[in-house]
Every structure is written in structure tokens, then in C-alpha cells.
Amino acid sequence: MEGMGECCNEALSASQRQQQLFHSSATLDRRFLKHVFDNVHGNIYLDPISKSKYQTAAIFLPKLLHCLGLTYMVYPGAVHTRFEHSLGVYWLASEAMRCLQDYQGLELDIDHFDRQTVKLAGLLHDVGHGPFSHLFENAFLPQVLRETKWSHEHMSGRLIDYIVDEHHIDIDCDILQRVKDMIVATCNVVPKKTKEKQFLYDIVANGHNGIDVDKFDYIGRDSRACGLGCNFQFRRLMESMRIMDNEICYPAKEYLTVHKLFSTRADLHRTVYTHAKVKAIELMLVDALITANDYLAISSHIQDPAEFWKLDDTIIKAIETAPNDELKESRDLILRIRRRELYQFCNEFAVPKDKLEHFREITAEDIVCAQKATGVTLKVEDVAVCNVKIDLTRGKDNPLESILTNFETAETWIQYNLALLQVLLSINFVLQDYESTEKFSIPDDRISHLLPASYQDRIVRVYAKKPELVEEISEAFENLQLKMYGMKAQVHETPEKKKRRK
């Protein structure tokens, strides 16, 4: 792009100006900072550099993207946006860097340039998110673009380039690239050229063990919004972390704090993110978006940052109020969501542990084929199936076996397993005490004998798109379990009252 070309041609002068601003702003008092009040972290202060980027990029920051999509239809308080989350991550990244600089600043040669790039990565890390949280990326796009690999992290990088070019922002190319590398740290191996301070790339998005300020913010923010308790004290981890051999390490005594991080996250996945009603709404919304895509070509926007940034959650209102006949089916689905006429949850089962290795995802076709002869013949379009995958990023295997070579699946948004404590304490080296110069891992038997032995959980949920078909679909679902496992793997029967609902 022309703007980026001009940026590179003037790299030396731009770099000098940036360094001057960085070092001059290091000692500024709060009179020169932009003050924002956040309902989770309290007062947030943006320094002059971040303030200028904040004001320029404000129109691109995801103010109209709910962090939890349409979850607010089940948890009415869950209306917080990516914009609020981005500010929170910015502030926690700033606080994490302050802690490191206070304790090891001279030893690690942390300068204000490092602090600024980490903070900017926190501010802009979610700018590439599409509508309705991860539903857009993980549920909608795979069905309309089967051959295209797309991630919001990489779109964030492209949007940052677009913002810089569109608004002629004078910023050094090295700074820009460093910020983008930090954002995609969970997707890519950090380039070798950054090995000197590789720990900086694990603060906003940690692809090694998953402990990062992004989680610190959304766990607390989501718990608060949904009215759930959160006893995870992220500040204990931030204030106790140290850098050893270019890795972020924690005192061994903080293993309970680490456990609370992932157990709280597990509770959120079980009770909020994969709530049966939430998934029913998401399945309906995906169907509405897929139908509308034929007319609106929503998926065509993902390759062009100039068009993509315009996509937000208001697309649901645009479809709902459009008079076009081509959007009638999508409008009807959205109207059903508004009226609470949701896809009916029939039942679910957890795949037996000894069957996980050869398990393949269940489809609507599988349910229909398992139906016995009755007075009603099911069709594929009558059934909705949700396959919930809960693992530690490596399926049934311990991620330690390949954590140093494969980062493609380092972040799975539906991870849920208390065994993560064991994996975490093995991956993340810890300090015995603050005076120790040795890092080590904690073996399984030193943590707890109550940790589960399996690293993966798979749950299959089935929904009826029409309430009068609950009975037939429930029976077909039970027949499928008998064919696959010789038993019904579900915990309870589908209530007769629900089966008879019309």
C-alpha cells in the first residue's frame, strides 16, 4: 500500500520521532493522560502515544460487537463489547509491563519502547473480530468458505495496516510489525529475529501455556456481566511473574491461583459459552446468516479490510428490517429468536472415553438415518446438531509432546478440563522462590491425585428445528447411540412433556 511504502521510506525519521515520544512520555504525570473509567478495572489511563492511536482508530475498534454475541438473550447483563474488552486488555498489558519493569527492568533491558508496543498490541488485538463473537469465525465462515482459512488475529494485522495507510499515521514499520506479531502470537511461532525478548510476545496472547492478560480481562469481565462469581486473583500472577531464560515463570506456591484461572474459565464454558439455550440461538443465527449470505454476500467482506470493518452485530437488524423477498427466510429465523421460538433442545450425550480415538462428529444426516419407521419421516433440515469439543489443544494427547513445534491449535475457545492444571504446571516452568535461579516443572503426583486422566471430552447435542418433532428426533438420537455404542450414552431421558409439545 502507498501509505505503508511511504512509512518504510521514512523509517529512520519516523523511528527517531517515535523513540523521542516514547522516552519523553515515560515521565508524564496524569495531567497528560487520557482518563477512561472502566467498570471492571476502574480508572484506565492512556498515554499520549496510545491516546493518539486510540483516537485515530476509535472508529475501527469494535464498539458494536458484543463480546458474547447473543448470549445476552440468556444472560441479560452480557452486553459488554469488544471495545470495553480491548481497553481492559490495554490496561492489564500496561500493568504487567510495569510489574516486570519494576522488578527486572534493568536486567531484561525493558525500555519504554517495549512497554508501548505491548500496550498497543493489547489495545488493537481484537480489532479483527467479526460479528457475534467467535460464532462468525468458527461456525458461519466454515460453512460458506470451506476451503478458506481465516482468523480474526490475522485480520487484526491487516486492519492495523489499513488504519495506518488510510489515516496516514506516521509510525515506524518495525513498531507496526512488532505489534502485529504480538497479536498473532497464539497462531504463529514467534519469528527467530525476536528471540532476544521473546517473553514480550506472551503477555497479550500466550501460545505456550495460555496465561495472558487477554484471559485475565475476559474471565473477570464475562463473569461480572453474567452475574457469576469470580475468585481468580489475576494480580497475584502479574505481580509475582518473573522472566527466566526468556520465559514467563511463576512461583510454585501460586499453583492454586493458576488452577482458579482455568477452573473459572471452565465454569464459563460450561454455564455460559456452551449453555444449551445459547447454542440454540447461535444455531438459528448461523442458519439466518448462511441464508442471507446468498443475497448479501457477507463472506465476501472478509478479504477486504476496507469492507470488513463495517461488519458488526447490527447486521441482524439490517436483515430483520430489510423488505427484500430474498431475505424472508432469514427474517423469519430472527423473528423466531425475538419471540423465543427457539430450536428445541432434545438431548445430549458425552462420548465414552474409550471411544474418543475413533469418534467423528455427528451430523444431521446421522440422526435422520437412525430413525426407525414411524408415521413421521424426518428430513435433514429438521435437525440441528452441535458437537462440543473440549480438550487441551492436542485432542486426546498431552500437548507437551508437540508444544514447541505446533502452535496451530494453541487456542481452542471451547477448552474445558480441570486436567489443564496438570498440563499448565508442566508447560509453564515455575520458580521455587524469588531468590531461586532455577526453573522446573511440577510432576502430576506433586499436584493432586484427583486430576482426571483424560485430556479430551466430546459432547453431542441435538436440537429439533420444529417443536412438534422433538419426540421423533429424540428417539432417532437414542437409536444412533445404540448403533454406535450398544447403549444409550445420555444421562437422562427426554421429558415426555417436551416430546408432546406442539
Phi, psi of 232, deg, nearest 5? -80, 120
* Helices and strands of the chain, counted as H and E runs: 20, 9
- Name the residue type at position 197: K
Q: Are 496 and 389 in contact (CB under 8 A)?
A: no
The CA distance from 439 to 431, in Å, is 5
Grid cell in block for residue 318: 439490517
| 152 has catalytic annotation | yes
Helix segments in 185-254, DSSP class H: 213-225, 234-240
The CA distance from 51 to 166, in Å, is 18
Q: Is the dihedral of CA 300, 304, 307, 309 positive or negative?
A: positive
- Residue 207 is given by DSSP the state T
Q: Is the dihedral of CA 160, 166, 169, 175 positive or negative?
A: positive
Query: Of the residues 152, 259, 358, 492, which is catalytic?
Result: 152
Q: How far is CA 280 from CA 187, 274, 462, 489, in A?
A: 29, 10, 10, 21
The CA distance from 264 to 358, in Å, is 30
- Which residues are identified as catalytic? 152
